[in-house]
Amino acid sequence: MTRTPISATATFEAARRRLLSIAYRMLGSVAEAEDVVQETWIRWHEAQDLPLKTPVAWLTTVATRLAIDRLRHLQHERATTVVPWLPEPWMDECAPSAEDAVSMLSDLSYGVLLMLERLSPDERAALLLHEVFDCQYEEIARTLDKTPVHCRQLVRRAKERVQSDRVRRVTDEQACRETAQEFVAAICRQDKQAMLQLLAPDAVVMGNGSIGAQAASSFVDGVLSMQATGMHVACAGINGGWGATFLQHGKIALALSFEMDGPAIRTVYAIAGSGRHGQSCPPVVMQLLQEAVLA
């Protein structure tokens, strides 16, 4: 296949969402996924003279292998740090769509992304390519440089490892949205009792950095204190679900992603800005959250 610079760019842009979707599900980070896609573009440009029969398959292979290498490095970093880690939130107005929207694994929720963290990089790649992107074992084998039989075993083992921890999926999207809106409205009213009534009795907060894990009831005090400082809070679509964002000077300082159990919020994933792309959690916010942890 002969490629001109214009056709090469058009081919890559047509595949960009797919590549970004694979990289994000592999790495749990928007920034890292964008880096993988950028590196894939560079290699695509360098390979412009190669005769490629299936450019999308070539791009998928490159992006997946880059994501696997990066994930191995990130898993080593996460294993050696004492601070909790959570995936970087993806605001849904630009979330990448999986090609099989029916699969549980095509869900971008925090529960699913954390479940995938239990897998090795090869298992994670094989499972996502097969279950989410409907790739055949022969194509996965070429991507991972393994045999189809080995890839079939990778997918089987990955399924077994995540089978015991399948994530609840709430089908009533409107009810989830309404609960999130009520929670945000209660924050704006400084109505602690209303917030607590929207939480399941055993609700917990899972946070990154110094937020850590805590009972949701104690976290409510920190959230109310944040809103009292003048930060803007709004209901938002996050990772295929609903939650809230706290903005300071137009930038997200804290994102709360809700995992629902019927009409109640069972888990709150609290993700403080990491500083990438100009988003960071101000010191005053972290102090308030830490005080809530110790409450």
d(CA 5, CA 101): 33
The contacts of residue 112 (CB under 8 Å, 6+ apart) are 104, 105, 167
Joined together, the tokens standing for residue 196 give: 């607590």
How many whole angstroms separate alpha carbon 235 and alpha carbon 86?
20
Q: How is the beta sheet containing 199-207 ordered, strand by strand?
A: 213-215, 199-207, 264-272, 251-261, 241-248, 232-238
The residue whose two tokens read 């903005």 is 247
Q: Round to whole Å and give the CA distance between 218 and 204.
A: 9
Supply the mean pLDDT for the chain: 80
- Closest among 142, 74, 130, 123 to 106, alpha carbons compared: 130
The pLDDT assigned to 205 comes to: 84
CA pair distance 166, 151, nearest whole angstrom: 22
Q: Predicted confidence band at 278 (pLDDT cuts at 50, 70, 90)?
A: very low
CATH number for the segment(s) 173-293: 3.10.450.50
List the single range of 17-26, 51-60, 107-116, 130-139 with lowest mean pLDDT.
107-116
pLDDT at 92 over 80: no
pLDDT at 266: 87
CATH of domain 5-163: 1.20.140.160
pTM, rounded to two decimals: 0.72
When computed from its CA atoms, the radius of gyration of the chain, rounded to whole angstroms, is 21
Residue 213 and residue 205 in contact, taking contact as beta carbons nearer than 8 Å: yes
pLDDT band of residue 5 (cuts 50, 70, 90) is: low
From CA 14, how far away is CA 23, in angstroms rounded?
Answer: 16
Q: Which residue ranges make up each domain of the chain?
A: 5-163, 173-293
Local confidence band at 35 (pLDDT 50, 70, 90 cut-offs): very high
